[in-house]
Amino acid sequence: MPPLYLDYNASAPLDPRVFDAMKPWFLEEPGNAGSRTHMYGQRARDAVETARGLVAAVLGAKSEEVIFTSGATESDNLAILGLARHGIETGRRHLISTAIEHKAVLEPLAQLGKLGFEVELAPVTPGGYVDANEIRRRVRPDTLLVSVMHANNETGVLQPVEEVAEILHGTETLFHVDAAQTFGKEVDALRRLRCDLVSISGHKIYGPKGIGALYVRRHAATRAIRPIMFGGGQERGLRPGTLPVALAVGLGAAAEFAGREHSSRLEHASRVKSRFLADLGGSGHHLNGEQSRCQSHVVNVSFDAIDSEAIMLLLQDAIAVSNGSACTSASYTASHVLRAMGLEEDRIAGAVRFSWGAGVAAVPIGPIIAALHCLKLGALRV
């Protein structure tokens, strides 16, 4: 038997229904959505626009406000780097974000810092969330953008994005939300949210890898954002290149299923979490992140005096888990998220993230307890 996959925050399995929706566009329909001279191109264009509408419906947005990208990383880059020219032209070069953002946000911000922009990263509480007042204190007349993730990918802690939106309402400051971990999950909250830019990803909601989108609010955001790649007029001139029709169809289908099923998925994930936390019992552990703010499908836990690399090695035949962001796992370094929360180094070193979704009935506690027992006996050292 293969190990049970419990790394849904890195990437969720593809829904077979989504694969069925995509399959004709891989095997039977060769058309380019940009081709206007024949029926194949028209069908491809219609399929893309249908998918765009399905994504927009989950956000409560208009179809024309959805720009397809290769994923949330590209969406984050477009949302941030695409504002550089506007910031220079208007003299608004102040940017605000938080210390726990994904590298797809932190690194584009750092690039703007090299161009003379001033970047401020608000600190977070030990519970893993930014206090909205930390954002309020930093907003200035020359603040171009505030970027705050909706939920942290490592801890699952939801951030106060609605409060931040209220703070920015009525100002000229644009608000970007990285919703890679919440699109199709925190559906009601995203539909209520008043912001200008939202990054989403397909493979977090049982869709295909390699497709995502950026919501760009009409008027204010569309006037400010500029393309960061060039070579065609696709996607309202903001994102050139041939659209991957099959992937767009897959994202649309995944969004549609998420919109219909998010409540039942939430209930299922909550049951799994409650049982997992009860089973952990007195195993000598600390939960990382304010649990009242955590999403129901993820637990970040540190085991006492245990190195996360060691426990993952022992668990690898039974459970597939991680100890940080998949985007920075090629060479492991201590989590910048847990460090920003002020956790002690031993606790950071022992942190493991369990994340699940559809198809996972329970987190098996037996292999975890056995691995902990083995490590405490000194049977394995890393």
Tokens of 116: 């003379």
Q: Look at residues 78, 67, 86, 130 and name the one whose alpha carbon lies nearest to residue 104.
A: 78
Active-site entry in 195, 294, 327, 374: 327
Residues of the chain with pLDDT under 50: 379-382
Partners of 143 in beta bridges: 94
Phi then psi for residue 127, to 5 deg, are -80, -5
pLDDT of residue 330: 55
Strands 4-5 and 319-320: parallel
Residue 300: phi and psi, rounded to 5, are -110, 115
338 contacts 288 by C-beta, under 8 angstroms: yes
Spatial contact of 210 and 71, defined as CB atoms under 8 Å apart: yes
Q: Which tokens hold the place of 178?
A: 């990285």
- Cite the DSSP H helix spans in 139-175: 161-168
pTM of the model: 0.95
The domain 16-256 having CATH identifier 1.10.3720.10: the answer here is no
Give me the numbers of helices (H) and strands (E) for the chain, helices first please: 14, 12
Task: Tell me if 329 sits within 8 A of 322, measured CB to CB.
Answer: yes
Residue 195 among the catalytic residues: no
CA–CA separation, 109 and 97 (whole Å): 9
- DSSP letter at 198 equals E
C-alpha 134/C-alpha 159 separation (Å) is 12
Six-digit token string for 294: 């955590």
Residue pair 221/64 in contact (Cβ under 8 Å)? The answer is no
Give one word for 63, left, alpha or beta, with left for phi > 0 and alpha for psi -120 to 50. alpha
Q: Which residue has the tokens 């949210």?
A: 193
Can you tell me the distance from the alpha carbon of 341 to that of 356, in angstroms, rounded to the nearest whole number? Answer: 24
Domains 4-12+262-376 and 16-256 belong to one CATH topology: no
Which amino acid, one-letter code, is at 308? S
Does the domain formed by 4-12+262-376 have CATH 2.40.160.100? no
* Sequence ranges of the domains in the chain: 4-12+262-376, 16-256
- Indicate the angle between helix axes 245-280 and 16-27, nearest 10 degrees: 160
197 and 56 Cβ atoms separated by less than 8 Å:
no
Cβ count within 10 A of residue 79: 31
- Could you write out the DSSP letters of every residue in 223-283? HH---SS-S--TGGGTS-S---HHHHHHHHHHHHHHHHHHHHHHHHHHHHHHHHHHHHTTS
CB atoms within 10 A of CB 219: 8
| 350, 334 contact by CB (below 8 A) | no
